[in-house]
Amino acid sequence: MKLKNIQRFPEKFCFQLNEEELENLRSQFVTSSLEKENYGGRRYLPYVFTEQGIAMLSGLLRNEIAVQVSINIMDAFVEMRKFITLNGQMFQEMNTMKSKLLEHDEKFNTVFDELQNKKQSEFNQKIFFDGQIYDSYSLIIDIIKTAKNKILIIDNYIDDSILNMLAKKNKDVEVVILTSQNSNISKLDINKFNKQYPTLKIAKTNKFHDRFIVIDNKELYHCGASLKDLGKKCFAISKIEDREYVKQISNFA
């Protein structure tokens, strides 16, 4: 550009390339005008025009050839704007698709959880034989995981093994255990558990012989063996559907 027009091109209209940028430009667009060996080599680093600079440059060209060049510049400018617009829409659509996929993932997880809960709610009775320790343990864990608010466990002979099961419960689910004086679980164990998996409460009672688990004051399970002895002898776990029994047992907590 001529010196008299330099004031028309501030930094946001054009800027001078550095050596690294010029090398990158050479590698992408190999033209004779960019080769160092032509005409004794380039003595100064070239300038390049920004979007605003192109528009300004087109207004400065006057002769017949320059007018045609100006038209070509404006055509290129329009095509560039179209390209940016089209790509902008494409990226926007991609972001929209990503948001929808995330939304679908959340809905899928919700449906999957509901199906798991429904599967658990359809459980009525299961008999375990001697040696089925893991299977019986897994079923109790599945029952515990269904709780959203509260778990009531009635078992006269619990020990600290119950804590390993309760560590699988959902966050912020309260646990109340009713047990006898014969239970073998220390206050220290309870305090340590509560620091990581609150809240667990222990109460002593002699009003029960059998073992029960109540989930959210809605579901009642009868367990034929103490939770500490799962799978050591043949026993059954049964779901009691009578709502009146669920209410009566829940009232003890």
Q: Which residue has the higher pLDDT, 1 or 128?
A: 128
Residue 14's pLDDT is what? 80
The half-sphere exposure of 9 on its side-chain side, counting CA atoms within 13 A, is 22
pLDDT in tens, 21-34: 888 777 765 554 44
What is the average pLDDT across 27-48? 58
**Residues 125, 58 within the same domain:** no
Q: Which residues contact 154 (CB under 8 A, 6 or more apart)?
A: 177, 178, 179, 208, 210, 211, 212, 213, 214, 249, 252
Q: What's the burial of 212, exposed, middle or buried (CB within 10 Å: 0-12/13-18/19+)?
A: buried
Q: Which residue has the higher pLDDT, 173 or 63?
A: 173
**Residues 124, 81 within the same domain:** no
DSSP label at residue 220: E
Q: Which domain holds residue 60?
A: 8-89
Residue 239's pLDDT is what? 93
C-alpha 226/C-alpha 182 separation (Å) is 12
User: Residue 129: what residue type?
Assistant: F
pTM value is 0.53
Longest Cα–Cα distance in the chain: 108
Q: What is the CATH number of the domain that holds 177?
A: 3.30.870.10
Q: Which residue has the higher pLDDT, 87 or 35?
A: 87
Q: Which residue has the higher pLDDT, 70 or 82?
A: 82
**Residues 165, 213 within the same domain:** yes
pLDDT in tens, 174-206: 999 999 988 888 899 999 999 999 999 999 999
Q: Which range among 19-33, 87-101, 164-178 has the greatest average pLDDT?
A: 164-178
With left for phi above 0 and alpha for psi between -120 and 50, is residue 172 left, alpha or beta?
left
